[in-house]
């Protein structure tokens, strides 16, 4: 599935696509949400869940490089 087809899907369709084709890469906290990053075929997407709920609020394509770098954790102590 490419990015354009993914964007055309509703929330449940996007969730099904992530479950079938997504590779989990990491999570971050943002406001009252836990945001999970997945790699799809040629793009990244974020799955947003409100803290305290066991339900996906929305799923969007992640293109912003600054946001994507929030998932990278580097340990520079040994350098």
Residue 10, domain CATH: 3.30.67
Q: Taking a C-beta distance cutoff of 8 angstroms, is the pair 52, 6 a contact? A: no
- Could you tell me the pTM of the whole model? 0.84
- Number of domains forming the structure of the chain: 1
Q: Let me know if residue 49 belongs to a domain.
A: yes
pLDDT of residue 35: 95
Listed as own residue / partner, the contacts of 20-25 with beta carbons closer than 8 Å and 24 or more positions apart are 25/71
Instruction: List own/partner pairs for 44-50 with CB under 8 A and 24 or more apart.
Output: 44/68, 45/6, 45/14, 45/18, 47/15, 47/18
Reply yes or no on whether the pLDDT at 8 is more than 60. Answer: yes
Indicate whether 64 belongs to any domain. yes
Confidence tier at 70 by pLDDT (50, 70, 90): confident
Mean pLDDT, the chain, integer: 90
């Amino acid at each position: 599935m490419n990015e354009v087809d993914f964007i055309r899907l509703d929330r449940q369709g996007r969730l099904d696509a992530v479950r079938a084709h997504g590779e989990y890469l990491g999570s971050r906290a943002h406001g009252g949400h836990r945001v999970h990053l997945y790699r799809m075929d040629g793009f990244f997407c974020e799955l947003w869940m409100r803290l305290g709920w066991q339900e996906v609020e929305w799923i969007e394509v992640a293109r912003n490089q600054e946001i994507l770098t929030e998932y990278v954790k580097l340990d520079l102590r040994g350098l």
